[in-house]
Amino acid sequence: MSDDLLAAFWRYEGALMANDLETLDRLFAPGPDTLRGDAAGILRGHDAISAFRKGRGGAPKREIVSVDVREIDADAAMVVAVTAPITGGRGQQTQLWRRIDGEWVVSVAHVSLPAPAVNSTVWRIVGTPLVAGADTPELASQTVAVKDLFDVAGFAVGGGVPAYLAESTPAARNAVAVQNLLDTGASVTGIARTDEFAYSVAGKNPHYGTPPNGAVPGAIPGGSSSGPASAVSLGQASIGLGTDTGGSLRVPASYQGLWGLRTTHGAVSSEGLLPLSPSFDTVGWLTREAWTMRAAATASLDLAKQVLPPTRRYAVAPGLNAQAAPGVRAAFDAAIGTLDRAELLPDLAEVELGDADELFEIFRSVQAAEAWATHGDWIEAHPGALGDDIAARFAVASRITEHEEAEARVALAAARIAIERALDGRILLLPSASSIAPSTTADAATIEQTRGSTLRLTCVAGITGRPALSVPALTVDGAPVGLCVVGPRFGDIGVITTGAKFHAALAG
Amino acid sequence: MSDDLLAAFWRYEGALMANDLETLDRLFAPGPDTLRGDAAGILRGHDAISAFRKGRGGAPKREIVSVDVREIDADAAMVVAVTAPITGGRGQQTQLWRRIDGEWVVSVAHVSLPAPAVNSTVWRIVGTPLVAGADTPELASQTVAVKDLFDVAGFAVGGGVPAYLAESTPAARNAVAVQNLLDTGASVTGIARTDEFAYSVAGKNPHYGTPPNGAVPGAIPGGSSSGPASAVSLGQASIGLGTDTGGSLRVPASYQGLWGLRTTHGAVSSEGLLPLSPSFDTVGWLTREAWTMRAAATASLDLAKQVLPPTRRYAVAPGLNAQAAPGVRAAFDAAIGTLDRAELLPDLAEVELGDADELFEIFRSVQAAEAWATHGDWIEAHPGALGDDIAARFAVASRITEHEEAEARVALAAARIAIERALDGRILLLPSASSIAPSTTADAATIEQTRGSTLRLTCVAGITGRPALSVPALTVDGAPVGLCVVGPRFGDIGVITTGAKFHAALAG
C-alpha cells in the first residue's frame, strides 16, 4: 500500500508545483465532505477547494523536508510532510489519504505556511511596541493599531496612498487621539492600513492588498478602518484606532464581529488627523470586547461633556431598515424582539426618518464636496496616484458645484432637525450594515450596491453627529452583522453601556 | 461511535484548558509513532509530546468555533476544529483519533495558531519596508534584517538592552553597511534582535526571548546575530546584516544551516555601528543562498582591495578540530575526504596552529578588555540593566588589569604571526561550531561548555583578522553544522567562490 500511496503523494506534489489543476482536482476526494484548512480558514467540499485553487494562481514553490506516513487501515493513511518554501522558513502539510475506487485521494488537508515578518495588507509598520505607553494601569497591556491617518511622532502619515506617503514627513508629535491612549497606558503596536484617503467602506486597497476578514474567510474586511479592524480581529492588537466619516468604523466592525464606536462628532479632537470630510469625520475604536471599548472611550472622551445616565428610550426605523438584506432584517427584528421581551426596550417607538435615498444624497454631496476640498489639489497634482475606484469617486466629487454644495448643506441642516425631531431624544437601533461582508471576489457592481445600501443606514449618524456603536450581536448565514446603537449626541459612554447590556441579553 | 469520539474530543479540550497533563497524556496515543506538529516543527512519539506539554506551562486559552468530524472506519476518525484564542484570531487543530483498547486517543495532530503582528523574539521593528532601497537592479527584491547594533536613519540603536534603547536617540543617517545594501536596491525590512551588546554566541536574550531556530525545532538560534539569522532562516528576510567579533555570524549560520560571512577585519566600515571589541569587530551577512551572499558582499566590499583569484591552497588543523564534538569531527572529516577525492583540495596540508586554550585565552582577554572599555561606564551607571549571564561576563571583563591587557596584546600579535606562518597563505578549513545547536532547555553549564569549544575554533579568524565563511554543508544527527572557510585577509569574495564550489560538490 505504502508505495502506491507515496506515488500518489509525489504525484500530488508535482501537480502542485506545476499548478496542474486537473490533476490536483483528481487527487482530492470528490463530494462535499472533503476538507482543506489553512490560516485563511476551512474550505468544505471538493468544489470549494477546486475554486480556491483556480483563484490563487499556483502554490508557493517549495521542497519537501520530511514525510511521515501513518497507516490507518488498508485504504486510509495519514501523510505528514514538512515543507520548505524556497522563500525560507518551514511549513507543514497534514493529509488524510483514502483509497476510493482503487485510487488514493486526499480527503482532509491542513496546510501551514511560514508567517511573513508582518502581514503587509494589515500593517504599514509594526514595533514591539512602536510607541510605549505611559506607566499607568487603565489601559496597561492594551495594544493599539493606529489607522494610517493619525500622526504618530517620528512617522509620516500615508493615508493609504503610496505617492502621498512618499511626500509625507515625520510627525513632530502624536495626534491627540493617539496620545490619549498612550497616556492611559496602552502602547502603539503599529500603523495599520486604510482605504485610499479613507474614502470607502470596502477595505480593498489596490496598492497594499485586502486585509483578511478575521471572522469570515474570503470576505472583505470592511473599511476604511480596514487595517485596525483586521489587526484586532486577528488578535494582533487589542484596540483599533480609526475614523468614521460615513461608516468606516461601523462597517468593518459589523463585517468582522467587533465592537466599533463612531463617537459624537467633535467629541474627540481631530488634531493630528488627516481629514476627509470635516463635517462628518469622527474618531473612534474597534475592539473584541465591550470593556476594552469602554476603557478606550473613557481614556479619550471629555467625561464632563457626556450625557449620563444613558437614555432608556428607543426607536427603530422600519423604513430605513428596508435597505438591509432580508436575512439581516430578520436577524435584526429577532434581536429587537428578544430585547423587547427582556424588557430592555421600555419605550420602543417606530419612527420615520425620511426618504433613505434623499438622506444618502444629502450626506454624499456634502461629504464629496468636502473630500474634494481636502484632497482635490493633491489629486490633480498626482494623476495616477489613486486606484481606479477611488479616483472615480473623487472625480465625481470634483464636479459638485458650489451651488449644489450650498443646497446640500441647507438640506443637511433640515434633515438633522427632522431626524432629531422624529427621534425625540431616543436611541435609534438599526443594523450596522446592509449585509454580511461580501466576498473578496464579488464584482464591482455588488460591492457598489452593498455600499449604497449600507451608507443609507449609516448616514443617519453622520447627518446628526450622533455617536453610533456597532455591537457584535447578530449572525446571518454564520457571518456576523452588527446591531447599531445610535446616539444621542455626547451619549458615547451611554451607548457602550446600552450596547453591552444588549449584547449580554442576546448572547444569553 | 461519534458520541464516544466527541466526548473524548471535549474531554481533551477541557484537559487542555485546565493544563491537566495526565489526562492529555492519556488522550494521546502511546508509542513512538504518535505525531504532533505546529509552527515550531514536528514532535515524534508520545514521550516527546508529553515533555513539550510539561515545558510550556499550559496552552493558550481558546474557544472552539467549529468541529468537523470525518469517520474513516469504526476505530478511526478525523476531527478538524477551528479555534478562537481569547487573544483574538483563529487557529486550526486537525487530529486523527483512533480507538485503541476501546479508548479514543489522538495519534496525529496538527495545530495552527494565529500569527502575532510580529515575532518579537526576532524583531524590534518591522516595516513594509522600513526603509526602501534605491531603484537599482543588483539587490532588487532583497530584504534586509538589520542587527540592532547598526544605525538606521530615524531609529535608535538598542543593542539588545532595553535600558540602553530607552536612552538612545534616533540616528541621523544610516550606518555605512546599511547604506551599502540600500544603494544597490535591497530594502530594509526591519531591525532585528541581538544578544545583549552582542557579547554571546548563544542567541538567548533575557529581555526579548530566544528567537526560534528555523532549522532545528527547539534549539537555540546561535548569536549574537540571532535576530537576523532567524529572520533569514524563517524566510522573513533574505539578508541578515550582522556583526562577528568572536563568532556572532558563523555560529548562528552553523546552527541554522545558513551562509554566514565574517568579513576581513576592516574591510567593511564600522561607521554607524555600536562596537563591542574594535580589534575584532567585523561586519557581515547571513543568507539562505550563496548567490545572495555574493551579491551582498559585492555591494559592500571595496573590490579593488580584494585578493583575486581565490587561493587554491588549503589547510586543516586537526589539533584545533579536537574541540569539536565527535559527530561534528566525523562529518567534517568526511566532507574533507569528499572534497579531496573530487580534487578540490589540491595542496591540502595539516597544520598546527598552537594550543587552543592559549589562543582562546589571548583572544578572550583582549576582547574582554575592549568590551569593558566600550560599555563599562554605561554598565556601571545602570546596575541591573543586563541579564545575569552577560552581566557576569562583563564583570569578569572589568577585572582585567592594564598589565594583563598589555600582555595579552603582545601575545595576540605573536599568535597572529605564528598562525599566518603555519598557514603560509593557505585557506583554513574547520567546523564553524563545535556542535549542532544545543536545545533551548540545555543547562547553563552545557551552553557554556559549547561556547568555550566553539570559540576555540572561531577565534582563529578573530586573531588573524581573516574572513571566515560558514558554508551550510555538514549534517550531524539531522541538524546543520557549517564548514568554515577561513581567509586569507581580503579574500572575502574568494572564500564565497570557494565555499559555493565546495557546497555544490558536497551536495552532489
Mean pLDDT of A138-153: 96
Alpha-carbon span A90 to A451, nearest angstrom: 40
| Orientation of helix B492-507 relative to helix B326-341, angle to 10° | 90
Q: Scanning the structure block, which residue is given the C-alpha cell 539569522? A: B229
Contact A192, A221 (CB under 8 A): no
Look at residue A249 and tell me if it is in a domain: yes
- Grid cell in block for residue A375: 484632497
Domain with residue B39: its CATH number is: 3.10.450.50
> Across the interface, do A88 and B288 touch by the CB < 8 Å criterion?
yes
Searching chain A, which residue's CA lies closest to the CA of residue B130? A125
Q: Which residues of A touch B214 (CB under 8 A)?
A: 88-90
Residue B263: helix, strand or coil by DSSP?
Answer: coil
Mean pLDDT of B418-430: 97
Q: Which residues of A touch B233 (CB under 8 A)?
A: 88-89
Mean pLDDT of B436-463: 95
Contact B471, B482 (CB under 8 A): yes
Q: What are phi and psi of B371, to 5 degrees?
A: -60, -40
Look at residue A374 and tell me if it is in a domain: yes
Q: Are residues A216 and A291 in the same domain?
A: yes
DSSP string, B466-507: --EEEEEEEEETTEEEEEEEE--TT-HHHHHHHHHHHHHHHH
Length of chain B, in residues: 508
Q: Are residues A450 and A473 in the same domain?
A: yes
Q: Are residues B479 and B339 in the same domain?
A: yes
Distance from chain centroid for Cα A221: 4
Query: Tens of pLDDT along A392-421?
Result: 999 999 999 999 999 999 999 999 999 999
> Across the interface, do B42 and A82 touch by the CB < 8 Å criterion?
yes
Last residue of a domain, one of A59, A91, A112: A112
Contact B160, B197 (CB under 8 A): yes
C-alpha angle A54-A59-A60 in degrees, rounded to nearest 5:
155
Alpha-carbon span B36 to A281, nearest angstrom: 50
pLDDT at A259: 98
Contact A70, B33 (CB under 8 A): yes
pTM, to two decimals: 0.96
Query: Tens of pLDDT along B328-346?
Result: 999 999 999 999 999 999 8
Alpha-carbon span A91 to A110, nearest angstrom: 11
Q: A380: how many CB neighbours lie within 10 A of its CB? A: 11
* Higher-scoring residue by pLDDT: A81, A508: A81
Write out the H or E segment, with its range, that includes residue A471: strand A468-476
Whether chain A has a CB inside 8 Å of the CB on B82: the answer is yes
Alpha-carbon span A80 to A112, nearest angstrom: 11
Contact A385, A161 (CB under 8 A): yes
Whether chain B has a CB inside 8 Å of the CB on A33: the answer is yes
ipTM of the prediction: 0.94
Q: Which residues contact A59 (CB under 8 A, 6 or more apart)?
A: A16, A17, A19
Q: Are residues B298 and B314 in the same domain?
A: no
Contacts A–B by Cβ distance under 8 A: 190
- Grid cell in block for residue A468: 453610533
Write out the H or E segment, with its range, that includes residue B37: strand B35-38
Contact A236, B88 (CB under 8 A): yes
Contact A503, A470 (CB under 8 A): no
Whether chain A has a CB inside 8 Å of the CB on B92: the answer is yes
pLDDT at A508: 67
Last residue of a domain, one of A60, A90, A112: A112
Q: Which residues of B touch A189 (CB under 8 A)?
A: 117
Query: Tens of pLDDT along A172-224?
Result: 999 999 999 999 999 999 999 999 999 999 999 999 999 999 999 899 999 99
CA atoms within 13 A on the CB side of B474: 32
DSSP string, A177-189: HHHHHHHTT-EEE
Bridge partners of residue B37, in order along the sequence: B42, B110
pLDDT value at B1 more than 60: no
Pick from A71-75, A445-449, B379-383, B408-412: least confident: A445-449
Q: Scanning the structure block, which residue is given the C-alpha cell 543547562? A: B443
Look at residue B506 and tell me if it is in a domain: no
Pick from A15-19, A110-114, A126-130, A445-449: least confident: A445-449
Q: Are residues A7 and A40 in the same domain?
A: yes
Percentage of chain B with pLDDT > 90?
94
- Grid cell in block for residue B166: 530607552
Q: Are residues A221 and A195 in the same domain?
A: yes
3-state per-residue secondary structure call for A228-258: HHHHHHCCCCCEEEEEECCCCCHHHHHHHCC
Last residue of a domain, one of A256, A288, A304: A304
β-strands B35-38, B103-112: how paired?
Answer: parallel
Alpha-carbon span B340 to B351, nearest angstrom: 16
Whether chain A has a CB inside 8 Å of the CB on B127: the answer is yes
Searching chain A, which residue's CA lies closest to the CA of residue B98? A72
- C-alpha dihedral (A178, A136, A288, B90), degrees to nearest 10: 100
Look at residue A500 and tell me if it is in a domain: no
pLDDT value at B508 more than 80: no
Look at residue A361 and tell me if it is in a domain: yes
Q: Are residues B300 and B373 in the same domain?
A: no
Alpha-carbon span B41 to B234, nearest angstrom: 12
Look at residue A378 and tell me if it is in a domain: yes
pLDDT value at B167 more than 80: yes
Pick from A46-60, A144-158, B427-441: least confident: A46-60
> Across the interface, do A117 and B236 touch by the CB < 8 Å criterion?
yes
> Across the interface, do B208 and A128 touch by the CB < 8 Å criterion?
yes
Whether chain A has a CB inside 8 Å of the CB on B98: the answer is yes
Alpha-carbon span B226 to A324, nearest angstrom: 54
Q: Are residues A154 and A10 in the same domain?
A: no
- The single-letter code of the amino acid at A507 is A
> Across the interface, do A94 and B37 touch by the CB < 8 Å criterion?
yes
Bridge partners of residue A284, in order along the sequence: A242, A262
Query: Tens of pLDDT along B290-318?
Result: 999 999 999 999 999 999 887 889 999 99
β-strands B123-131, B103-112: how paired?
Answer: unpaired
User: Which of B247, B435, B241 lies closest to B326 in space, CA to CA?
Assistant: B435
Q: Domain containing B48: what range?
A: 2-112
Whether chain B has a CB inside 8 Å of the CB on A208: the answer is yes
β-strands B314-316, B348-350: how paired?
Answer: parallel
> Across the interface, do B42 and A92 touch by the CB < 8 Å criterion?
yes
Nearest to A235 among B78, B88, B214 (CB): B88
- Mean pLDDT for all residues in chain B: 96
Q: Which residues of A touch B130 (CB under 8 A)?
A: 125
Q: Are residues B291 and B142 in the same domain?
A: yes
pLDDT at A310: 79
Query: Tens of pLDDT along B229-245?
Result: 999 999 999 999 999 99
Residue A129: helix, strand or coil by DSSP?
Answer: strand
Pick from A231-245, B257-271, B442-456: least confident: B442-456
Whether chain B has a CB inside 8 Å of the CB on A78: the answer is yes
Distance from chain centroid for Cα B234: 11
**Domains contained in chain B, number:** 3
> Across the interface, do A236 and B37 touch by the CB < 8 Å criterion?
no
User: Residue A309's pLDDT band (boundaries 50, 70, 90)?
Assistant: confident
Q: Are residues B241 and B339 in the same domain?
A: no
Alpha-carbon span A417 to A406, nearest angstrom: 17
Domain with residue A298: its CATH number is: 3.90.1300.10
- Mean pLDDT for all residues in chain A: 96
Look at residue A504 and tell me if it is in a domain: no
pLDDT at B312: 86
Look at residue B492 and tell me if it is in a domain: no
Q: Are residues B314 and B449 in the same domain?
A: yes
Contact A297, A303 (CB under 8 A): no
Mean pLDDT of B106-131: 97
Instruction: Outline where DSSP puts E strands in B398-466.
Output: 427-431
pLDDT at A71: 96
Contact B121, B193 (CB under 8 A): yes
Contact A43, A61 (CB under 8 A): no
Q: Are residues A69 and A179 in the same domain?
A: no
Mean pLDDT of A278-283: 98
Contact A187, A131 (CB under 8 A): yes
Contact A121, A209 (CB under 8 A): yes
Mean pLDDT of A358-377: 98
